[in-house]
Structure 1
Amino acid sequence: MTTAFPKAASSANPPSPSSDSARAVGLWLLVCCVMVFAMMLIGAVTRLTESGLSMVEWRPLIGALPPMTEAEWQRVFDLYRQTSEYRIDNAGMSLAEFQSIFWWEFIHRLWGRTIGLVFALPFFFFLATRRIPTGYAKHLVILLFLGGLQGVIGWWMVKSGFVDRSDVSQYRLAVHLGMAFFILAYLLWLALGLLWPVPQDRPPAPRGVRRLGAYCHAVIFITVMSGALVAGLNAGLLYNDWPLMGGNFIPEDIAALSPAWLNIFENEGTVQFDHRIMAYLTLTVVSLTWIFSRRAPLAPRARLSVNCLAAMVWIQAGLGISTLVLMVPLPLAVLHQAGAATSFCLSIWVMKELRGAR
């Protein structure tokens, strides 16, 4: 499943009521993009430090404040000690150790609330002052709804780790991450249409190159989703050799679970193998797109977008291999997450540029 983009965000409908308003809205959306990107990195740190289950309560309004007294810290710590993660992995943890993981989850949730305010307040201002370009208001309403839904999905994901397991469900983690990438794509697509619209006199790229650009976006998105399963199962810690897996190209336990389809989602070895194959496929499709683009009559900006995507995907492959063989060190793992989001954003830019004016 790839990201669907609105048709309203194109140069066929020139932004109104003024270009200054369109630029202001575009810059605001771009700021929201950067904040969502940062949220992905904060989420990666939260997951990698196993901090996500430290906040047992979900208080959307008053939860913006951390514990302010020793008694309040003790209360939230006592709640955490009732969770399965504490009993299975962290029995005997001190209050000071609990606070070290609590803060990452608190920052994660606080940053989510901040994104909501940064989006909602300017939106209502632009709406009240009639500065939203024609055709964009409905998309901004959808984004407002999706932001609220993402908060609910986040809590739904966290709740899965409170009963009979010490981590969250990899399925719910994939849904949460997938929604984050969808929101990022939606924001960026609209922002590009306002800030850097494709000139009206530019024809679309040849059909074959446009198709390859769409395939790049699709395989990158699927690779990201397979990476969510790897993260949810901690599958990156199972086989830390490359290019083989335990001395074999295909791991010996690839079909260990029954029924067979369950291996795709719950077998750590299979999940890591699938992520590797998707990474190889991404490299292949993006490299072919770059090769064919060299011979195609592309506008300079369109050619630049393809070049940037090709370079980033190869950098991302290096980050992925390094993260794996070094057994997922925190800095490299966060950089790998950043590389995934950057590659995804560049694939959106490529599709935008190759479409031509609409």
Structure 2
Amino acid sequence: MAIASAETGGRVAAGAAARGATRAVRIWLYALAALVVVMVGIGGATRLTGSGLSITEWKPVTGAVPPLSDAGWQAEFEKYRASSQYQNLNRGMELPEFKTIYWWEWSHRQLGRLIGIAFFVPLLAFWWKGALTRRVALALLGIGILGGLQAAVGWIMVASGLQPGMVAVAPIKLMLHLLLASLILVLLVWVAAGLRVRRPDGQAAQAFGPAIIFLGFVLLQIALGGLVAGSRAGLTYNTWPLMDGRFIPPVEALLSATPVFENFVDNPLTVQFQHRMVAYLLVLFAIWHAWSLRRTAPGSAAARSATGLALMSLAQMALGIVTLLLVVPLWAGLAHQLFAMAILVMATVHARLSLPAAAARPVATPAPVPAGALR
């Protein structure tokens, strides 16, 4: 009897320890997601202040140390003065002004290094302690690879703006940079939400299909917002709901550039128009999704989260209109970008927790293993 009681107590203790480890992993992933959101915010500030081309070299290790002397600052400034952005936009800029834009870009890159450390060091520690199932570990390794790709795309983006004659980065490369960051955020939150103990909710399953569609809508709209930012389309056609006196601009103006594809990534009129139209579709879909769930699954958690998403989408559209009418001041541009990340996080959680039980393989609690036994 005593032996059985001891065995039961041991299993309970082991289960509690495993649940504690899973909770620690979940907290770590949400902390990483928060860092990614901060990274997106600093990236937005870097873009809005025109700071992205202030550091003209990519030095993943030694670049972590900023200039430490007057001579070092002058050397960095001379490199920037050789760029087309300085020659065409910022000619006459003094060293104190250069330091301001330099610190924005340096902070952006430094936070990227911090995220890399905050990802891989705990990942190895959790893996070493056996706190990760094989499936979760592989998912996290995939996210790590995406993070490395994101860093490479970031430098490719900056390099595109340092080409002779260029005064800004290529819009499509800025869009890819932002979209990759958004995908990393989605995956971090998706894995973290999957580690949560779920209560059975038969009403949630019907929300999954529309929830995934809405998540795709949000990612598409963020990508289009990246094109708006890259082509500086928010600085033109600053009226609403009409653009240059029309709700739908003339086709010949929308497709004025050649080849035709260029219009969808670099024509300010077309880029802003498609961002507006997808915003309307996104809001209408969010309202329909919330109404549908409140009618078919009243009182469910899925209905409540869908309603929250609909309200957030309406608020985001209003914020976007204000940003446009005010010609993109720094505070409004940053608020619009960060609120998009908040919607993306909530949409991800909504979709993940709506995953049908049959499709959502339960996250197995890893069995305790001796320290050092990598799984």
Q: Does 1:285 align with 2:285?
A: yes
Q: Does 1:214 align with 2:215?
A: no
Partners of 2:215 and 2:298 in 1: CA distance: 19
User: Deviation above 4 Å: which 4+ runs of structure 1?
Assistant: none
Partners of 1:273 and 1:133 in 2: CA distance: 46
Find the counterpart in structure 2 of residue 302 from structure 1. Answer: 302
Q: How many residues end up aligned between the 2 structures?
A: 341
Corresponding letter in the other structure for 1:241: T
- 1:229 Cα deviation after fit: 0.5
- 1:206 Cα deviation after fit: 5.4
Find the counterpart in structure 2 of residue 314 from structure 1. Answer: 314
Partners of 1:43 and 1:79 in 2: CA distance: 22
- Which structure 2 residue ranges, 5 or more long, are not aligned? 1-14, 361-375
Partners of 1:96 and 1:154 in 2: CA distance: 26
Find the counterpart in structure 1 of residue 242 from structure 2. Answer: 244
Partners of 1:19 and 1:102 in 2: CA distance: 45
Find the counterpart in structure 2 of residue 3 from structure 1. Answer: none
- 1:299 Cα deviation after fit: 6.5
Partners of 2:224 and 2:166 in 1: CA distance: 21
Contact kept, 8 Å, 1:204 with 1:355, in 2: the verdict is no
1:122-156, Cα deviation, whole Å (9 max, x unpaired): 11111112122352111111122221221111111
Deviation larger for 129-138 or 185-194: 129-138
Find the counterpart in structure 1 of residue 26 from structure 2. Answer: 26
1:35-74, Cα deviation, whole Å (9 max, x unpaired): 0011010000000000000001111111111100000000
Deviation larger for 138-147 or 44-53: 138-147
Across the aligned residues of Structure 1 and Structure 2, the Cα RMSD in angstroms comes to: 1.6
Corresponding letter in the other structure for 1:119: F
Q: 5 Å matches for 1:60-209?
A: 60-163=60-163, 164-194=165-195, 196-199=196-199, 201-203=200-202, 205=204, 207=206, 209=207
Corresponding letter in the other structure for 2:235: L
Deviation larger for 262-271 or 274-283: 262-271
Partners of 1:245 and 1:205 in 2: CA distance: 40
Corresponding letter in the other structure for 1:85: Q
1:294-350, Cα deviation, whole Å (9 max, x unpaired): 112266332222122111111101110000001001001100001111111111112
Q: CA distance change for structure 1 residues 119 and 325 in 2, over 3 Å: closer, same or farther?
A: same
Find the counterpart in structure 2 of residue 268 from structure 1. Answer: 268
1:270-317, Cα deviation, whole Å (9 max, x unpaired): 110000001001011101001101112266332222122111111101
Give the structure-1-normalised TM-score: 0.92
Contact kept, 8 Å, 1:169 with 1:232, in 2: the verdict is yes
Q: CA distance change for structure 1 residues 203 and 17 in 2, over 3 Å: closer, same or farther?
A: farther
Partners of 1:140 and 1:355 in 2: CA distance: 20
Find the counterpart in structure 2 of residue 12 from structure 1. Answer: none
Contact kept, 8 Å, 1:239 with 1:245, in 2: the verdict is yes
Find the counterpart in structure 2 of residue 228 from structure 1. Answer: 226
Partners of 2:180 and 2:99 in 1: CA distance: 29
**Tell me, what secondary structure is at the counterpart of 1:131?**
coil
- Which structure 1 residue ranges, 5 or more long, are not aligned? 1-14
Deviation larger for 312-321 or 294-303: 294-303
Corresponding letter in the other structure for 1:214: I
Contact kept, 8 Å, 1:55 with 1:106, in 2: the verdict is yes
Contact kept, 8 Å, 1:55 with 1:102, in 2: the verdict is yes
Partners of 1:248 and 1:303 in 2: CA distance: 37
Corresponding letter in the other structure for 1:189: W
Partners of 1:31 and 1:258 in 2: CA distance: 45
Contact kept, 8 Å, 2:208 with 2:356, in 1: the verdict is no
1:199-258, Cα deviation, whole Å (9 max, x unpaired): 2x3325354x43222221111111111111100000001100000011111234222213
Corresponding letter in the other structure for 2:280: Y
Find the counterpart in structure 1 of residue 43 from structure 2. Answer: 43
Find the counterpart in structure 2 of residue 4 from structure 1. Answer: none
Partners of 1:149 and 1:255 in 2: CA distance: 32
Question: Rg: which structure is higher?
Answer: 2
Residue identity (%):
38
